[in-house]
Amino acid sequence: MSGRATVLGAIRRALHRGELPSDQATLLRARLAAHPRQLIPARSQVPHAEQIALFIANVEREFGTVARVVTPDAVPEAVAAYLAAQNLPSDIAIAPHPELRAMPWDDRPLLRLREGRAEATDAVSVQHAFAAIAETGTLMLPSAPERPTTLNLLPDTAIVVLRAERLVGAYEEAWDLLRNELGSMPRNVMLVTGPSRSADIEQALELGAHGPRRLHVVLIDDAVA
């Protein structure tokens, strides 16, 4: 007997039944299709301006940083300013995303950009956020040709560009954006909350375990103006 038949048979024997009757299976399929929301904490169900404030507070509490700019055109300048202030190199691996491509990077000739996935030698990445979640200060980064996963992981410093209108309150709202806009589940969806860390040595928190030591969000928010 195949492993599959053995395991499913053992489950059904233990539950004292055969396969689910078709009417019950239909109900369960309807539940999967409707994917009902469960209890959502109230803290993120607030007006958008408060969600932005909550998001920023949560990112900072988790040792990330946030810079706010008014237009996409101001992103290259904000990235250059951050790297200079942190005394970091200006070679950047950047996601080949149309929104990032449309930004005036040429105005910052000191920044040297390479589009594509990250390699082990890359020190700084610029990634595009699909969405973000105020509830816990979390970025949603689904994999796609224009959003390589390695950019989230290999460089020491990860910079993520987020448009404020992509910020929602709870995870459930972000999943609905993803369902509506992408249709099916991408290969990989990372929910990122702050820079990499470990507390395995004596339960004391140290940043920069295997992933980035620094996580910097550039938030494009025209409401600031």
Partner 1 sequence: MHVATSPDFKRNATRAIADVSLQKALANSRPQFMARRGRAVAALPEFEALRDTARDIKNHTLANLDFYLEAWEAKLLTAGGKVHWCATAEDARKAVLDICQAAGARTVTKGKSMIGEEIAINDHLERAGITPVETDLGEYIIQLRHELPSHIIAPAFHLNLEDWEAQFRKSHTDLPPDRVFHERRDILTEARTKLRERFLAADVGITGANFLIAETGSSVIVTNEGNGDLTQTLPRVHIVLASIEKVVPTLEDCCSLLRVLARSATGQKFSVYTTFSTGARRPGDLDGPEEYHVVLLDNGRSAMLGGEFQDMLRCIRCAACMNHCPVYGAVGGHAYGWVYPGPMGSVLTPALIGIDQAGHLPNASTFCGKCESVCPVKIPLPKLMRHWREREFERHLTPATVRRGLALWGFVARRPALYRLATRAGAATLGWLGRKRGRFASLPLAGGWTGGRDLPAPEGDTFFARYAKAQRRGQA
Number of C-beta neighbours around residue 162 at 10 A:
23
| Among 145, 180, 183, 225, contact with partner 1 (rule: CB under 8 A) | 145
Beta strands in 43-119 (DSSP E): 65-69, 91-94, 112-115
Between β-strands 131-133 and 138-142, what pairing exists: parallel, antiparallel or unpaired? antiparallel
Tokens found for residue 144: 């796609």
110 binds partner 1 (CB under 8 A): no
| Among 48, 50, 60, 62, contact with partner 1 (rule: CB under 8 A) | 62
Which residue stretch of 40-48, 70-78, 101-109, 216-224 sits at the interface with partner 1 (rule: CB under 8 A)? 40-48
Q: Is the CB of 72 or the CB of 186 nearer to partner 1?
A: 186
Query: Minimum Å distance from CB 31 to partner 1?
Result: 6
Amino acid at 82: Y
212 binds partner 1 (CB under 8 A): yes
| Among 89, 198, 223, 224, contact with partner 1 (rule: CB under 8 A) | 198
Query: Minimum Å distance from CB 192 to partner 1?
Result: 6
CB 118 within 8 A of CB 154: yes
32 binds partner 1 (CB under 8 A): yes
Query: Minimum Å distance from CB 92 to partner 1?
Result: 16
Q: Is the CB of 69 or the CB of 140 nearer to partner 1?
A: 140
Three-state SS for 79? helix
| Among 88, 153, 163, 177, contact with partner 1 (rule: CB under 8 A) | 153
11 binds partner 1 (CB under 8 A): yes
- Convert 48-59 to b/e letters by CB count within 10 Å (16 or more is b): eeebbebbbebb
Q: Is the CB of 62 or the CB of 99 nearer to partner 1?
A: 62
Tokens found for residue 218: 């550039």
Using alpha carbons, select from 194, 191, 147 the residue that is nearest to residue 170: 191
23 binds partner 1 (CB under 8 A): no
Query: Minimum Å distance from CB 178 to partner 1?
Result: 9
Q: What DSSP designation does 201 have?
A: T
Tokens found for residue 97: 């995303």
71 binds partner 1 (CB under 8 A): no
Between β-strands 131-133 and 124-128, what pairing exists: parallel, antiparallel or unpaired? unpaired
What is the C-alpha to C-alpha distance for residues 191 and 180, in angstroms, rounded to an integer?
Answer: 18
Q: Is the CB of 90 or the CB of 143 nearer to partner 1?
A: 143
39 binds partner 1 (CB under 8 A): yes
